[in-house]
Structure 1
Amino acid sequence: MEPIIDTDLATRRKLRAAALPVAGADFLLTRAAEDLADRLAAVARRFPHAATLFSPGGATARALLASGKVDDVAEVVAHPALAGSGKLLLGVAETLPLEPASLDLVASLMALHEVNDLPGLLIQARRALKPDGLFLAAFPGAGTLAELRDSLLAAETELTGGASPRVLPFTDVRDAGALLQRAGFALPVADIETVVVRYDSMFALMRDLRAMGATNPLLARLRRPTGRALLLRAAEIYAERHSDPDGRIRATFATIWLSGWAPDASQQKPLRPGSAKMSLAKALGDESAG
């Protein structure tokens, strides 16, 4: 698979964000951690041994431990400074440092959109799970930052006659669900939650993105700094197209949630075609009789 993400750059930006924290800028991660706790609470079982994948700042590990359903958590990170206080495992997405069939739960928050080989990572995660182990992940999906993408594209096309990629091509929820199936998970589920956040201007949004370490990591990005004229025109277009009556702009964040289970003989399975013991007509009552 041809890489599109500069993973070294993405890691450096996460490190910079961790070194210079901005209060409230991690609202998406905080929200996802709360949702993770809610989703675990709905599962009537414990997951003694868990691991998190590339989730920044230890928030995912803390949410797992706070749930009361997890005894220990290993954090797989690209750099030690990106972990919390749990057991640290340095690794990259292409070769996860996880033993086969060693975990009851694998979770990841706000990280998988910056993985070049998502299908490969999902297969590795499934292999690391014990039979009937659970995989849970949340990451930005299609629709995220659509307004910013539109405004930058329009401004650059107007000023230069062309455009370069400035916002990640986020995964569609249906494609994400198909990847779960392809990776061999049982009972795969993919859903999406959308939140619209309001900002004073495009520049306020971009400050938050920098504080998240979430600015453009694409390999195909322009290597020279974005010109002031382009940014000012993009901000004008953003305000014209994507603002409310009070002048504040809207920014969409769409979070894809994935869940799947490592296959196990105890799991419910769909009936094979033709295996039903009663016909549909009999089950509903044969109205033509009599």
Structure 2
Amino acid sequence: MTTYAVTGATGPFGHHVVEELLSRGVPASDVVAIVRTPSKAADLAERGVQVREGDYSRPETLPAALAGVQRLLLVSGSDIGSRVAQHTAVVDAAKAAGVERIAYTSILKAGNTSNPLAGEHEATEAALRASGVPFSVLRNGWYFENYTSQLGQYLERGEILGATAGRKVSAAARADYAAAAAAALLTDDDGDAVHELGGPAFTFDELAATVSDVTGTKVAHRNLSVEEYAAALEQVGLDAGTAGFVAGLDASIAAGDLETDSDDLVSLLGRPATPLADVVSATHAA
């Protein structure tokens, strides 16, 4: 039997992937949830999932976490600035443990994007190639949740600010990206694979219209220059560095870096991607 491991399995993405593997019929005993704090994965342990401690920042924890694993999903870490060393430690440990395939959650158009988050993903992809272990790169676009998490602010202010110059974002629901990751882990069998993943593209005008339609509260989109957007973010409390970084993300949208016409997400899902309106509606109802 194949043993599948998922890192960051108590996080919202990793937990979704574990649930997806189980729903697809993988026995719980063949699933390894790698987590920093095993006590936080009690719900998975109770269902028979193997819960193992593994910390990207503590490489000594990784050999035991990966022992006997054939297929690994490396969920990218959240510690920006430290991720190359952390991810490389996992890749090195996976190779040493005899892992047969590594899937990794990268970023859309890695290697050909101005997105300020891309550098660490590009370096991790390079580490995967250098390892010689067959890999599946899951180049995820933006999550709907990047926007729906701000739904209360949109409704309170009556507007969505951005600096996207009217360009589109190929976003999708976190659960859809997780389902795609599980599918790749189960089905990618030959050589290396790179999946460019994103849902149906929308502009911020369309985002505002969807929020308005679903909630019944009029919300408009106001497009700003990158500099104006950074200044506006500072006015609501972000420090200058963070404001510039967030505005830079929108600048990458304006450059077309978060839009794709790839159908890889639908192919992996085996169904249409979840519509934006459904995620907005679920968030509004919560």
User: Which structure has the larger Rg over C-alpha atoms?
Assistant: 1
TM-score between the two structures when normalised by the length of structure 2:
0.31
TM-score between the two structures when normalised by the length of structure 1:
0.30
Larger relative helix fraction: 2
